[in-house]
Amino acid sequence: MTKPLVSLIIPAFNAAKYLRSCITSLTAQTYDNIEIIIVDDGSSDNTLALSYEMASIDHRIHVIHQENAGVSIARNIGIDHASGKYLQFVDADDELIGDALELEIQALQKKPADVLHFDFQPFNSYGPLPRTKEVLASFPIDDFSGSERAMEHVHRGAIGNYVWAFLLKTSILKEKGLRFRPNLIFGEDALFVNELLASIDSVAYLNRQIYRYREEDGVSSMRKLQFSLDDEYVVQQLDVLYESLPKIPTYSIYRTKLLIDAYCVLPDKKTDPNTKKTARRLSKQLRQATKYNLFQQLPQKYALKLFLIDIGLYDLGIFFSRSTRLMKCCNKDEFNNK
């Protein structure tokens, strides 16, 4: 049986620190019929030079350079240049385990589907990061489902908003014109995943942690505000999408979780006028959710956040939580200095 070509798209911006590890994990795959498309997004470090260096060693690596335009446009360019039957996105600081692609193709051969969803392992420079039993157990128990069932999995959190957790048919993206929104800096994954699943007929599932996801560092206050604004925009676009589909009851829960995330990612000190305005707007929308008694249907941590936001005590709770942690650190330092 002929091995189908798999296109691996890596958007890279100032990614020199981890890029070699990422690409090495791809070139060393036991499944070798691949093309690796690195899209350098106007990096100011040596990402581009490193990409060309690796491409000179392995003919399967192709390098595209563009002026800095963001990860969405970089991914779109990768889609346009992909020639494989299947396509997968890989972030430039992440990795695949050695037989990841082989396992993915085998899964699709057993259960032919438009899309394959698989699990991942978070890690950092110290090694793998633990995941709770609840998180591990939340992975879909299906090995195959239709589109609506897959979207319900997204709504319940069994499928995360990660575009790199899918292997998909390239033809679906090209024939249906599915692309990332260039105006989004954050939240593009959530919108793309929902639009993708709404455009297909079938999903297969591989309950194996074959993708290694590197945890990110914290973000600044300005970036937090942009996170929130983009999350809010994503909800608006998802509302339009779901209005065009047969009603899926679990969407209201998913929508509420996204709005809670948008509120909670705002800077703690909401003194900036734009931050204040955004917080008021999100609070108003979330108060609507409380009218429909969604507390019992939300995961416990989201239900608690919604309750605190609704009664206006969320920010106060964050303040006391951080003050308590600070006092513990100070007391510890005082004890150590005795």
Q: Which is more confidently placed, 272 or 175?
A: 175
Are 78 and 168 within 8 A, CB to CB?
A: no
Q: In angstroms, rounded to a whole number, what is the distance separating the alpha carbons of residues 82 and 168?
A: 12
Over residues 219-260, the pLDDT tens digits come to 445 555 566 778 888 999 999 999 999 999 999 999 999 999
Q: What is the mean pLDDT of residues 147-153?
A: 96
DSSP string, 28-58: T-S---EEEEEEEES-SSSHHHHHHHHHHH-
DSSP 184: -
Lowest mean pLDDT among 80-84, 134-138, 238-242: 134-138
pLDDT of the residue at 254: 94
So what's the pLDDT on residue 18?
96
> Which pLDDT band, with edges at 50, 70 and 90, does 329 fall under?
very low
Q: Is 139 in a helix, a strand, or coil?
A: coil
Contact between 254 and 154 (Cβ < 8 Å) = yes
Please name the amino acid found at residue 99. Answer: D
Q: Which of 193, 185, 200, 227 is nearest to 74 (CA)?
A: 185
What tokens were used for 21?
């590890």
Please state, for a pLDDT cut of 90, what percent of the chain lies above it: 64
Q: What is the mean pLDDT of residues 137-155?
A: 93
- Which has more confidence, 245 or 296? 245
Among residues 71, 83, 290, the alpha carbon closest in space to that of 180 is found at 71
Q: At residue 324, does pLDDT exceed 70?
A: no
Taking the C-alpha atoms of residue 70 and residue 51, their distance in angstroms, rounded to an integer, is 18
**Alpha-carbon distance 216 to 282, whole Å?**
25
Given a cut of 70, whether residue 34 has pLDDT beyond it is yes
Specify the higher pLDDT residue, 131 or 41.
41
Please count the other Cβ atoms lying within 10 Å of the Cβ belonging to residue 260: 23
How far is the C-alpha of 253 from the C-alpha of 299, rounded, in Å? 9
DSSP string, 195-262: HHHHT-SEEEEEEEEEEEEEPP----HHHHHHHHHHHHHHHHHHHHHHHTS---TTHHHHHHHHHHHH
Reported pTM: 0.87
Percent of the chain with pLDDT over 70: 87
Residue tagged 């069994």 (tokens)? 158
Q: Which of 144-158, 176-190, 286-300 has the lowest mean pLDDT?
A: 286-300
Structure tokens at 124: 């950092």
Which amino acid is residue 196, in one-letter code? Answer: L
Instruction: Say if residue 330's pLDDT is above 50.
Output: no
What pLDDT is recorded for position 265?
81
